Amino acid sequence: MAEETIEKNCTVRNKMGVHARPAALIVQTANRFPCDVTLVKDGQPVNAKSIMGVLMLAAPMGTTVTVRAEGEQAQECADAIAELFEKGFNEAIG
């Protein structure tokens, strides 16, 4: 069976953007799944399982980030990370 690749476009909705706490939530969520997961902003991919990678996105409110998951449980992983963005990482939404 071919490995499944899932892509979801997400918008950063919280006022502070992807700072340390949201980055930690993304990494924590990504690491619950066995698939490879990448975040892409402005064509630049970063490993979503790396706190330094996610912080390097420098994604302020309004930024579009693509979640790309590939492999086992890719759909579940992409959905879980997209939900974090949708909920504004449980912070104030602008």
Q: What is the CATH number of the domain that holds 74?
A: 3.30.1340.10
pLDDT greater than 50 at residue 1: no
d(CA 35, CA 37): 6
Query: What is the residue range of 32's domain?
Result: 5-90
Q: How many domains is the chain partitioned into structurally?
A: 1
User: Is 19 marked active-site?
Assistant: yes
- Please tell me which residue in 4, 8, 16, 19 is annotated as part of the active site: 19
Tens digit of pLDDT for each residue in 64-90?
A: 999 999 999 999 999 999 999 999 999
pLDDT of res. 2: 55
d(CA 63, CA 39): 12
The position carrying tokens 């996610």 is: 54
DSSP one-letter code for 72: T
Q: What is the mean pLDDT of the chain?
A: 96
pLDDT greater than 90 at residue 39: yes
